[in-house]
Amino acid sequence: MNRILISGAGMAGLCLARQLKKHDIAYTIIDKKPASESSGTGIALPANAVRALRYMGLSDAADTMHQVRRIIYSHPNGRVISEASLLNAPLNRDKFVALERTALLATLQQGIEKDIHFNVVITGIQQTDTGVNVTCSNPALNGHYQAVIGADGVFSTVRELGFGQPGLIDLGVTNWRWICEFPTQNLQPTYMLGLNNIFMAYPIGPNRIYCYTHQTDIENRYYNYYEAQQNLRRLFASYQGVARPILECLPDNEHIYTGRLRSVPFPIFNQGHMALIGDAGNACSPMLQQGAALAFEDAIVLSELLAHFPIRKALEHYRSLRQQRVTWVVKTSDNSIKAFIKMNSRWSMIMRNMMIKRKGPLNVQGWKYLLSQCPLDQVTDFIQTSTEKNE
C-alpha cells in the first residue's frame, strides 16, 4: 500500500516531502503543473519562516538570502508614518529575508526533484476506513493511500473533492506583483499607504526589488492582465517617493502578475485520512506575509506527528496543534484588508495613520505576537509528553 500522497509541489508540498523523506516515510508527490513553477515574483520571509528553513536543514541557504533590517510605512508622498527595526527583540529571533520565489522553490526541491510527478490532476477521492482511494490523470498513480495531503494551493483540488467545503471568498481587492531592477542601496521594505491602495517595494538582492501593489476593487474593474501597466500608472499617479521612479520603469504586462485576493472562509485542517497544509487550508490576505511561514510550519508539524503516531491520530493532533495559531493569522490578516476596504474618507485614513504611528507598522505588530511562540518547539514538546505518558 502507498503510504502518503502529497498533492502539490509548491512550498508546502516540497517541505512536507523533504521532511517525510528525512523520517523514511514513503510518499508520492504530484503536481498539476507541467513543470516546476517559473513565476517571476518575489517573496518575503519573516523570521518564523527562516527558523523553519533552519529546522529543515537549510541554514546555509537561508544565510545567503537578502536580509532586510527595517520596515517603513509611509504616506503616498513618501513621508514616513512609522518605522520599526527588525533587529530588536522579539523580532531578532532570526533574520527577515527576501528573494525570488523561483530561487526558494529550487532550494526546497533539492534532493527530491526526481520524486515529483508533474502534469498529474486528481479526478476522484473516496475515503475508506483504512485510507483514501484516489484516481488521477496518470493511471499508474491510481490506488489506495493511507493518507492524502492537500498542498495544492489556493485553488486546491483536494479541498474541493475531499472536503466539500464552501468556495473561496473574494476579498474585493485586485493586486499586482513584479520584479524589477532598481537601486537598493539604503533601501528597506517600504509600504506606502493610500486611502484604498497600497504600494510596496521590497529589496530582494543587490539592485533588485520585488513590488506588490493592491487596489480596493469591489466591482472587479482592474483585474485585466492586458492593462496592468496602464492601471498601475493611473491608480498610483499621485504617489511620490520610491514609487515614482519604479512606476516609470515597469516591466511589460506579461511580467506583471495580476491577481485577486482570495481567502478560505475558515481554516481547514483534517478529515479522516486527509489533511490540508499551506494555502490549501489557510489561504488569506498577505498582510502578515505568513503564506510561506504557515506552509513551512504546517509541513514540519505534520511530518513530525506522522513519524510518531498512527496516521489518523497524527492528523487529529495536527489540527489541535495548528488550529489556534493558523486561525489567528487568517483572521488578523483578513480583518486588516477588510478594514482597508471600509475606508471611504480622508478622515478614516487619518485615523488609521494615527493608529499606526502610535502602535507601529501593522505587520510588525503581528510578527511580535507570532515570534512569542515557536510551533516547532511545541510539537517537539507534545511528542515528548505523549511518549512519556505511554511509557
For the stretch 158-202, pLDDT in tens is 999 999 877 899 999 999 999 999 999 999 999 999 999 999 999
| Domain 4-40+102-169+263-389 CATH class label | alpha beta
Tens digits of residue pLDDT in 223-241: 999 999 999 999 999 999 9
Euclidean distance between CA atoms 290 and 292, whole angstroms: 6
Euclidean distance between CA atoms 245 and 221, whole angstroms: 25
Domain boundaries, the chain: 4-40+102-169+263-389, 171-262
Has residue 38 got a pLDDT over 90? no
Residue type, 49: A
Report H helices in 114-273.
Answer: 157-158, 228-235, 243-247
- Provide the pLDDT for residue 290: 98
Kind of pairing between the strands at 132-136 and 122-127: antiparallel
Second-level CATH architecture of 171-262: 2-Layer Sandwich (3.30)
Query: How far, in Å, are 9, 297, 309, 323 from residue 318 at the CA level?
Result: 20, 11, 11, 8
Query: How far, in Å, are 2, 118, 148, 152, 287 from residue 143 at the CA level?
Result: 8, 17, 11, 19, 40
Give the rounded percent of residues in the chain with a pLDDT score beyond 70: 99
* Of residues 52, 48, 9, the one with CA closest to residue 152: 9
Euclidean distance between CA atoms 271 and 273, whole angstroms: 6
- Burial profile 203-239: b = 16 or more Cβ within 10 angstroms, e = fewer: bbbeebbbbbbbbbbeeeebbeeeebbebbeebbeeb
Give the rounded percent of residues in the chain with a pLDDT score beyond 90: 92
**pTM of the predicted protein model:** 0.96
Q: How far is CA 49 from the centre of its chain?
A: 10
- Provide the pLDDT for residue 237: 97
Has residue 378 got a pLDDT over 60? yes
Q: Band the pLDDT of 40: cuts 50, 70, 90.
A: confident
Q: Band the pLDDT of 51: cuts 50, 70, 90.
A: very high
- In this prediction, residues 300-316 reach a mean pLDDT of 97
Has residue 271 got a pLDDT over 80? yes
**What is the gyration radius of the CA atoms in the chain, in angstroms?**
21
